[in-house]
Amino acid sequence: MITGGRAAVRSARRLVVKVGSSSISGDNAGKIEAIVEALAAAHARGVEVVLVSSGAIATGMPFLELDERPSDLATQQAAAAVGQNILIYRYQQALRVFQVVAGQVLLTAGDLENPTHRSNARRAMERLLGLRILPIVNENDTVATHEIRFGDNDRLAALVARLIGADALVLLSDIECLYTRPPSEPGAQPISHVAFDDDLSGYEFGSVVVNSVGTGGAATKVSAARLATASGVGVLVTSADLVGEALSGADIGTWFEPSPAGATPTTGVIETPTAVHG
C-alpha cells in the first residue's frame, strides 16, 4: 500500500484506471487518444497499468443500426460482441504510436467468485504485466447474464485492483469530482477528500443511471471506492478529460483514502444495484 494522497497515483507501481462508456463512445470516441496518451506516459515511466474499459455495447450499437441501447439481453450481447472487437482495435491503434501492446481480458463475476478461475485470472494478468502488456479489461457481456453480472464496471475495476494488488485506482467520470448532492441542485458542495472511516450517509449520491450508452452514477463510484479502499487501495474519482493530470498526481477530483491496515471489512460497503453496463 502506498500512502500520500493523490501523489500515490503518480508513485504507484501498479495502477488500475477505469473509463466509462460515455467517455469513449459516440461523439466522444476521439477521447480514446487522450486517455491512451496518459496511460502510455505512465507505462513509459515503469508503471504497470491496467485499463478497465466499458463501451462494448455502446461502440457496437451504430454497426447494428441501433439508435438506442437495446433492452433485451440477446441484442445487448450481439452489440457487445461487435463493439468489443472494434473498441480493442481503437485502443491498439492509439497505443501503436507509443509501441505499447494491449491485451484483452474479459471477465464474468463468476470468474472472480470461483477460487480456481480467480487464481487463473490473477496469473494471466500478472504474466501480461510482466511482459509489459497493457491489459484492457471488460465484463464478458456476450456470456454474462443478468443474474451473474458485476453490476457496473466501477465495481469490476475495484475487484480487479484488489485481485492484482494495485497501489491505486482511478475512476474516470463525466464530472471533475463528487459532490455532497447532485451538482445541479442548490447547495451542492465538491468533495475533495474522504478519509477511510468517514461517514457518507448524509450525502445524496445519485443512484445508478441507465442512459443511451451505459450505466453509472456517483453511488456506483462511492461503492467501488469503498470496496477498493477496504483492501488498501487509494481511489481517485475525476473527469476523463483530466486523465493526464490525474495520473500525474495533480490536486484534482475526489480522493478516497485507503484503509491504514489494508484490511477488508465486510461492513460499510454501499451495495451496487445490478444493472447492465456494456
Is position 1 within any domain?
no
Distance (Å, rounded) from C-alpha 245 to C-alpha 235?
15
**Domain contains 266:** no
Q: Indicate whether 238 belongs to any domain.
A: yes
268 within some domain: no
C-alpha cell at 77: 450481447
Q: Which residues are annotated as a binding site for substrate?
A: 54, 141, 153
Per the annotation, binding residues are 18, 54, 141, 153, 173-174
pLDDT tens-digit profile of 26-80? 889 999 999 999 999 999 999 999 999 999 999 999 999 999 988 888 999 999 9
Q: What is the CATH classification number for the domain harbouring 94?
A: 3.40.1160.10
Residue 2 per-residue DSSP state:
-
Q: What is the pLDDT of residues 114-161, one digit of tens each?
A: 899 999 999 999 999 999 999 999 988 777 665 445 667 899 999 999
Query: The whole model's pTM is what?
Result: 0.88
| Structural domain containing residue 83 | 7-256
- Asked whether the beta carbons of 238 and 253 are under 8 A apart, the reply is yes
Low-confidence winner among 17-21, 87-91, 98-102, 143-147 (lowest mean pLDDT)? 143-147
In a domain, 21, yes or no: yes
Residue 277 lies in a domain: no
Asked whether residue 226 is domain-assigned, the answer is yes
Number of domains in the chain: 1
Look at residue 260 in the predicted model and tell me its pLDDT: 87
Residue set of the binding site for ATP? 18, 173-174
List, in sequence order, the alpha helices (H) in the chain: 7-11, 21-24, 32-44, 56-60, 73-96, 109-113, 115-130, 153-164, 218-229, 243-247
Mean pLDDT across the chain: 86
Classify each residue of 91-102 as buried b or exposed e, where b means 16 or more C-beta atoms within 10 Å of its C-beta: bbebbeeeebeb
